[in-house]
């Protein structure tokens, strides 16, 4: 009996040590992943692709009265998913606790792609905008978060439906650095000052998801092509914040 009690205590002790060891390993692993994801500047996302030309048509068929002008980023915006499905500029408001819902005019193809693939991957719904930039036009250089969030995980999901991804550029202490030219969706760090010059003769159209989603601590289907640690923030980065 004494032997059994001793063995039981011994077993509990070993289990306790094992759990503690495992917890520490997990904490260390998560910490490492957090650091890694904080450093993400640009990464491709491996998803089944949309029929871009068709999606462009469905978006551009939406009456112009539903679009609004974002003067901070100097781009046209069309809300596709908003809190309570609000339309127009009201759809840009991410405050409150209303559920994110599809705006009535959003096509079934877009809804299905996000509902079946993107949102399960993100772990939540978030606001979706279509961003339209006219030919030979530049979006204003800006930062997509508050000052105290710069350097934290501020992932934005983007999918360029028409135009080139390398028209996006980062502002660094050593000059501009273009994003890579890719075809698939990508993640970008909204906390790094950036701009976009659409140098083509056609408009650029992009699907954009951001707040309140800020990113995941790990992904199983991304390929990081640019990292924050390889560049230096410009010393004047605060000038790109929204005033």
CB nearer to Fe ion: give 144 or 219: 144
Min separation Cβ 104 and Fe ion, Å: 26
Q: Is there a cis peptide before residue 207, judged by omega within 30 degrees of 0?
A: no
- What is the sign of the dihedral through the CA atoms of 131, 132, 136 and 138? negative
CB nearer to Fe ion: give 118 or 143: 143
Residue 134-153 contact track with Fe ion, rule CB under 5 A, x = bound = ----------x---------
Min separation Cβ 209 and Fe ion, Å: 12
> How many Cβ atoms from other residues are within 10 Å of residue 171's Cβ?
22
Helix H or strand E segment including 175: strand 175-178
CB nearer to Fe ion: give 37 or 208: 208
CB nearer to Fe ion: give 82 or 139: 139
Min separation Cβ 28 and Fe ion, Å: 33
CB nearer to Fe ion: give 103 or 196: 196
Min separation Cβ 57 and Fe ion, Å: 25
**Total residues interacting with Fe ion, rule: CB under 5 A:** 1
Min separation Cβ 156 and Fe ion, Å: 7
Using CA atoms, how far apart are residues 117 and 13, in angstroms rounded to an integer? 44
Q: Which of residues 172-231 bind Fe ion (CB under 5 A)?
A: none
Helix H or strand E segment including 119: helix 119-122
Q: Which residue is nearest to Fe ion (CB)?
A: 144
Min separation Cβ 12 and Fe ion, Å: 54
**190 phi-psi bin (left φ>0, alpha ψ -120 to 50, beta other):** alpha
The two three-digit tokens of residue 106, written as one number:
């959003």
CB nearer to Fe ion: give 59 or 144: 144
CA angle centred on 227, ends 235 and 192, rounded to 5°: 40
* Integer CA distances (angstroms), 121 to 116, 117, 161, 162, 222, in order: 9, 6, 20, 24, 11
Site residues (vs Fe ion, CB under 5 A): 144
């Amino acid at each position: 009996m004494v032997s059994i009690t001793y063995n039981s205590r011994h077993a509990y002790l070993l289990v306790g040590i094992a759990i503690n060891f495992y917890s520490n390993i997990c904490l260390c692993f998560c910490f490492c992943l957090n650091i890694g994801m904080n450093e993400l500047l640009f990464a491709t996302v491996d998803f089944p692709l949309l029929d871009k030309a068709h999606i462009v048509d469905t978006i551009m068929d939406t009456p112009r009265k539903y679009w609004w002008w974002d003067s901070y980023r100097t781009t046209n915006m069309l809300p596709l998913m908003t809190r309570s499905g609000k339309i127009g500029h009201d759809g840009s408001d991410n405050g409150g606790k209303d559920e994110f819902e599809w705006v009535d005019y959003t096509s079934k193809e877009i809804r299905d792609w996000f509902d079946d693939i993107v949102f399960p991957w993100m772990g939540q719904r978030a606001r979706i905008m279509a961003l339209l930039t006219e030919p030979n036009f530049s979006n204003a250089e800006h930062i997509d978060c508050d000052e105290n969030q710069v350097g934290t995980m501020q992932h934005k999901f983007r999918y360029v439906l028409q135009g080139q991804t390398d028209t996006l550029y980062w502002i660094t202490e050593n000059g501009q650095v273009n994003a890579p030219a890719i075809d698939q969706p990508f993640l970008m760090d909204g906390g790094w000052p950036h701009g976009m010059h659409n140098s083509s003769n056609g408009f650029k159209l992009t699907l954009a998801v951001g707040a309140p989603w800020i990113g995941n601590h790990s992904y199983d289907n991304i390929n990081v092509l640019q990292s924050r640690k390889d560049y230096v923030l410009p010393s004047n980065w605060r000038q790109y914040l929204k005033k």
